Amino acid sequence: MLTDLGLRQPRNGIARSVEEARRIVAEIGYPVVIRPSYVLGGRAMEIVRNEPQFERYITQAVVVSGKSPVLIDSYLKDAIEVDVDCLSDGTSTYVAGIMEHIEEAGIHSGDSACSLPVRSLSTAITDELARQTREMALALKVGGLMNVQFAIKGEDIYVLEVNPRASRTVPFVAKTIGSPIAKVAARIMAGETLDTAFAAYGGAPDPHSLKHIAVKEAVFPFARFPGVDTLLGPEMRSTGEVMGLDYDFAVAFAKSQLGAGVELPRDGTVFVSVRDGDKQRALAPIRRLYDLGFKVIATGGTQRFLLDNDIAAEKINKVLEGRPHIEDAIRNRQVQLVLNTTEGAKALSDSRSLRRAALIHKVPYYTTLAGMSAAAEAIAALSTGNLEVRPLQSYFTAA
């Protein structure tokens, strides 16, 4: 269908044996996303970056057979992921919401924060996303709801998956646009046209007319499971979600964090440790926090980089470098915010206890660059005023 419609997807293949999996990975090249068939929530899904990791996954994590194939896709590094929900009656379609994920592609969509409307994509891109969604809904003869997940890398749009059903994003979209789209979908499934079904609820709202911004944030159960790592990936970990509404993205994000049980600091000390590939892009949010008056402490390599870029950061030891180290500082309430990205099995293992300490002591922590940037924006917004509480309905009467 994608080929017929002229739509793009990541290079991919389906393997029904270990030998076939090795051949497909060799053709696509690392990194790849591998997942078993017939699973929900990204169960046992993994981003595989090299041959040793692939061999461990294919021999230990899954059983590959003709009845249980594995799906292998090229991993689009640093891509923006987008969810689109639409309604169709087989003839007409209505795009209810285009949601831009805050975390980059590779984090499960159920675990990603997202913004509706989008916050960084151009009108040309969103129009093209809507067009591609409509084309697929009509080609699939969808009667009711459909969800599409796209990845955007540069100007290129890739279709990741299409679900001809309601998605977990439906309640979020319905509350944001002020329309009961699940009820509309049910009426379509019972035989009504799209226009007739919407007419029963006052007509279809114009998503472009929204004055407010909604941010969805995932809620995680990590505190209830001793020893579990809090690092996010392609396997879904969240057990719920909240939303923050405001007329400003930064404040909406701050509200979503508060709803999820994360209280962003307005001053104090921020700890930073980012991998080499992220240092340049991490500079902007760190500088913003530094300009707001936050003290910055960092591990050796990150501290040297920050000093070279005119941010007065103090060095603090990693746990393996001896005491006093970063975990001691977190336990002693000397750190109010943690910004940490990492890559590779050893680095992930070495930083695991750091993430756990932040969780136990309720220190907000962000492990993606996009999360860091959104948090810095939210903290800056909080520093200029307080959150205002409004009824949900007020956003639509104001519009």
Could you tell me if 88 and 204 lie in one domain? yes
Same domain, 198 and 100: yes
Q: 115 and 194 share a domain?
A: yes
Same domain, 126 and 203: yes
pLDDT score of 329: 92
In a domain, 234, yes or no: no
pLDDT (0 to 100) of residue 42 = 59
Beta bridge partners of 240: 219
Q: Check residue 74 and give its pLDDT.
A: 93
Same domain, 165 and 65: no
In a domain, 341, yes or no: yes
Task: Check whether residue 141 and residue 187 sit in a common domain.
Answer: yes
- CA distances for 55 relative to 25, 61, 68, angstroms: 11, 10, 18
Indicate the number of domains in the chain. 3
Give residue 111's domain range: 80-210
Predicted pLDDT at 39: 67
* Best CA proximity match to 87, nearest among 167, 4, 157: 167
Residue 37 C-beta-side C-alpha neighbours within 13 Å:
12
Distance CA 126, CA 382 (A): 30
Instruction: Look up the CATH number of the domain holding residue 92.
Output: 3.30.470.20
Q: Is residue 338 part of a domain?
A: yes
| Residue 351: inside a domain | yes
Answer yes or no: do 286 and 355 share one domain: yes
Can you give the length of the chain in residues? 399
Tokens at 114, concatenated: 């997202």
49 and 122 share a domain? no
Instruction: Say how many C-beta atoms besides its own lie within 10 A of residue 311's C-beta.
Output: 18
pTM as predicted? 0.87
Residue 256 included in any domain: no
Could you tell me the mean pLDDT of each successive run of 10 residues in the chain, 399 residues long? 96 92 94 82 77 85 76 89 96 96 75 88 95 97 96 93 92 95 97 96 90 90 66 72 93 93 92 90 94 94 94 89 88 92 63 78 87 93 84 79
- State the alpha helices, DSSP H only, in the chain: 2-5, 18-28, 51-56, 123-139, 170-177, 181-189, 194-199, 249-259, 279-291, 300-308, 326-331, 345-360, 369-383, 394-398
Output the pLDDT for position 399.
47
Within a domain: residue 231?
Answer: no
* CATH code assigned at 61: 3.30.1490.20
Which amino acid makes up residue 260? A
Specify whether 35 is located in the same domain as 147.
no
185 in a structural domain: yes
Q: Domain boundary residue among 165, 180, 210?
A: 210
Q: Could you tell me if 195 and 291 lie in one domain? A: no
Q: How far apart are CA 116 and CA 96, in angstroms?
A: 10
186 and 140: one domain? yes
Q: Are residues 67 and 28 in the same domain?
A: yes
Dist CA 64 CA 55 (whole Å): 12
Residue 23: C-alpha distances to residues 17, 54, 56, 301, 321 (Å): 10, 12, 16, 38, 42
Q: Which of 27, 56, 74 is the last residue of a domain?
A: 74
- Residue 3 inside a domain? The answer is no
Q: Identify the CATH number of the domain in which residue 291 sits.
A: 3.40.50.1380
**Which residue, 25, 53, 74, sits at the end of a domain?**
74
Vertex 32 angle, CA 111 and 107, to 5°: 10
